[in-house]
Amino acid sequence: MAFQAGGQRPAPRPVPASPDAQAYLQDYTALLEAVAFPSLVVDHRWDVVLTNGAFRTLFRGAGPHPTAMPGDNFLRFVLFHPDASDVLGEHESSWCLPMLAHFAATLERYGHDHGLQAVRREIAQDPIMEAAYRQGLPHWMRAVGAEAVEHDGAVRPLHHPDPRWGATECRVVVETPRALEELGYSRLTLVLREPRRTPPRPPRPRRGAARLRVVPASE
């Protein structure tokens, strides 16, 4: 469902003004690097504040993109990067729709946020993604229920570039200590699970953009 967005590059993230906050983030970076599973810290726009080596390894195959690199903004990566489905298994149903649901809830809370408004405009520029947002998403949220906007505990498929993992699953674990929460940040870790024993996927040709294949008809 990715769309080759032509939006502006996200603005540089502000550095916390407090020396104590800066020191905390430096130490938290060391903690994050010690975690064996892919982990990232984001703000409410999904601008990425910190990642660890396991996260960078997982997404190392993502090609260049002006606005949707996984280490810059994870929401934009999931929605707009043409390589997202190479890593994020069942990309549309397991990743795009939950991220759109969370985005819709966040936009309702932070309606005047310029970064979120920019994402909304880019969704609207693509007729298929706009139909997914206006028609497919409400249909899916009614079917899934309130948990649609919750990431913590969700089990989602992945295609890990390391053949020791390959086609596997991860459980999304959201852990946000108080100090991070006070800075407006959240931490997500993708806890890798035992690989699924499935035949390897044949390589697919690169494309300019992936598209949502099925959008439920409006009711």
Does residue 139 contact residue 100 with C-beta atoms inside 8 Å? no
Q: Does residue 75 lie within any of the structural domains?
A: yes
Q: Does residue 217 lie within any of the structural domains?
A: no
For residue 172, with 0-12 CB atoms within 10 Å meaning exposed, 13-18 middle and 19 or more buried, which class applies?
A: middle
Q: Does residue 212 lie within any of the structural domains?
A: no
* Predicted local confidence at residue 196, as pLDDT: 62
Q: Does residue 112 lie within any of the structural domains?
A: yes
CATH of the domain at 38: 3.30.450
Q: Does residue 13 lie within any of the structural domains?
A: no
Q: Does residue 181 lie within any of the structural domains?
A: yes
Q: In this predicted model, what pLDDT tens digit does every residue of 140-165 receive, in sequence order?
A: 888 888 777 789 999 999 999 999 99
> Consecutive sets of 10 residues in the chain, 219 residues long: mean pLDDT of each?
45 69 94 97 96 98 96 97 97 93 94 94 94 91 82 95 95 95 96 73 53 49
Q: Does residue 3 lie within any of the structural domains?
A: no
* Predicted local confidence at residue 2, as pLDDT: 45
* Predicted local confidence at residue 7, as pLDDT: 47
196: nearest Cα among 157, 162, 161? 157
For residue 131, with 0-12 CB atoms within 10 Å meaning exposed, 13-18 middle and 19 or more buried, which class applies?
A: middle
| Helical ranges in 126-177 per DSSP H | 127-131, 137-144
Range of the domain at 130: 19-150+174-189
Q: Does residue 204 lie within any of the structural domains?
A: no
Question: What's 119's DSSP letter?
Answer: H
* Predicted local confidence at residue 219, as pLDDT: 45
* Predicted local confidence at residue 195, as pLDDT: 73
Question: Based on the structure, what is the number of domains in the chain?
Answer: 1
pTM, full prediction = 0.84
CA count, 13 A, side-chain hemisphere, 23:
3
